[in-house]
Amino acid sequence: MNPVVAPTSQPSAPSASAASGASGASGAPAPVIGLRGAAVRVGGRTLWSGVDLDVRAGEFTAVLGPNGVGKSTLVKVLLGIVPAASGEIRVLDRRPGEAGSRVGYLPQRRSFDPDLRIRGIDVVRLGLDGDRWGVPLPFSRTRRDERERIAEVVELVGASAYAHRPIGQCSGGEQQRLLIAQALVRRPEVLLLDEPLDSLDLPNQSAVAALIGRICHQERVAVVMVAHDVNPILHHLDRVVYIAEGGAVSGTPDEVIDSDTLTRLYGTPVEVLRTRDGRLVVVGQPEAPAVHSDRHAG
């Protein structure tokens, strides 16, 4: 859980500049995700417009904002499930939805039925071959490679101890790790996560956040994660997209989660406070029940 900064200094990361720097466009590799003036309409209503965003390999980006502003819709636009109303959107140099297994996806979800008697490892395996017709043949040539890859990815998320148990009997955090393994099993270059920390307890929130940060920086996966609360992931983040009031700002966490920036975005005075332990609290944000608990705590 601890060193998220360490991997960037390892020689395995050939382009460390990409992970750290978003400012210098020259020399940086082309972004894996690019949005230019993107807008989306759902049911005749424009959810947001004018969103610009570049995400490069190995960058951890959070999509923040109050409830109901269309954070999940941004992920669905990147997946190609929801069409963009205007603007240009590129995912891995293709249009959304055309990059296939190079994009991993973890939807917002409730947990599995406790009575579900399917092993975690079988759920992970579906990420590898679930879209293939037929049934797995017992003596096929690729079977050993597949088994090795599944064991590898289960090890990566630290789920080896319980991957052979029925997934319904695993805890919420364990299920979430297995589902992250499922999303990673085909070595995607982009990982889209929709509120993966939702419904986890605090220790599991920080553990899963650290896991995602590690995967992002070590495996050079570009992560875009919709989040309710920025604090569990704050230390792992490279970029933030903050959606509110039909608009959006993007940049580094320090640039975006800032009193002046958010005041401009909301159009009303908003203050960002930093508590002694480094947590950020947004005060004065309209229609945001999400931060009530934080406000009392701060």
Partner 1 sequence: MNALLASASASASASASVASAATSGASGMTTSVWAQPFFHHALLAGTFIALAAGLVGYFLVLRAQVFTGDALSHVAFTGAMAALAGGYDLRLGLFVGCVLVALLLAGVGRRGKADDVVIGSAFAWVLGLGSFFLTLYTTSASGLGDGGAGTSVLFGSIFGLDGGQALVAVLVALAVAVAVLLIARPLLFATLDENVAAARGVPVKALGLGFLVLVGVTAGEATQAVGSLLLLGLLAAPAGAAVRLTDRPFHGLALAAGLAVGEMWAGLALSAWIPQCPPSFAVMAAATAVYAATWLRPRRASRSSLVVARG
Binding-site ranges for partner 1 (CB under 8 A) = 79, 81, 100-101, 105-107, 109, 112, 116-119, 122-123, 126-127, 129-136, 161-162, 164-166, 169, 171, 182-183
The C-alpha atoms of residue 270 and residue 109 are separated, in whole angstroms, by 31
The C-alpha atoms of residue 105 and residue 95 are separated, in whole angstroms, by 16
Cβ 24 to partner 1 shortest distance, Å: 34
Which residue, among 125, 119, 79, has the nearest Cα to 102 in the 3D structure?
79
Whose Cβ is closer to partner 1: residue 7's or residue 127's?
127
Whose Cβ is closer to partner 1: residue 94's or residue 165's?
165
Whose Cβ is closer to partner 1: residue 172's or residue 247's?
172
Cβ 15 to partner 1 shortest distance, Å: 28
Whose Cβ is closer to partner 1: residue 107's or residue 247's?
107
The C-alpha atoms of residue 170 and residue 188 are separated, in whole angstroms, by 25
Whose Cβ is closer to partner 1: residue 22's or residue 89's?
89
CA angle 27, 39, 262 (to 5 degrees): 75
Partners of 28 in the beta sheet? none
Could you say which DSSP state residue 163 is in?
T
Query: Residue 58 in contact with residue 4, Cβ under 8 Å?
Result: no
Query: Residue 4 in contact with residue 216, Cβ under 8 Å?
Result: no
Backbone angles phi, psi at 88, to 5 degrees: -110, 130
Could you say which DSSP state residue 199 is in?
T
Whose Cβ is closer to partner 1: residue 22's or residue 128's?
128
Cβ 210 to partner 1 shortest distance, Å: 21
